[in-house]
Amino acid sequence: MDIEISSYIVLGALLFGIGAIGFLVRRNFLIQLMSVELMLNSVNLLLVGFNRAHASSHDGQVFTFVVIAIAAAEAALGLALAIAYYRFKNSAETDLGDLLRH
């Protein structure tokens, strides 16, 4: 059995779906953050996979590099927010926040 690029793409799409479900269903801020990481990682898999098909340049792998760097920045900011949020709520659950709902 030969592996084709399409297997990687399908895997990437499924992982993206898993991340999106986690993001929408879970109410724990930290786990939602991890779900976003899952989504970003699935995109990385797609990019690396597509680069294998278009191997004349490294566009996809460079993009992946960029995404990893930015994911690090985003995670750092998200975790700082998590700590700030925890100070008020003593919890990381995002649906406890109803101050802003009218």
Question: Rule CB under 8 A: which of 23-52 touch another protein?
Answer: 23-52
Residues contacting residue 86 through CB under 8 Å, at least 6 positions apart = 92
Residue 83: CB minimum distance to another protein, A: 6
Residue 64: CB minimum distance to another protein, A: 6
The interface with another protein within residues 53-82 (CB under 8 A) comprises 53-82
Q: What is the DSSP string of 64-75?
A: HHHHHHHHHHHH
* 93 strand-pairing partners: 28
Residue 78: CB minimum distance to another protein, A: 6
Q: Of the candidates 6, 3, 74, which has an alpha carbon nearest to the alpha carbon of residue 46?
A: 6
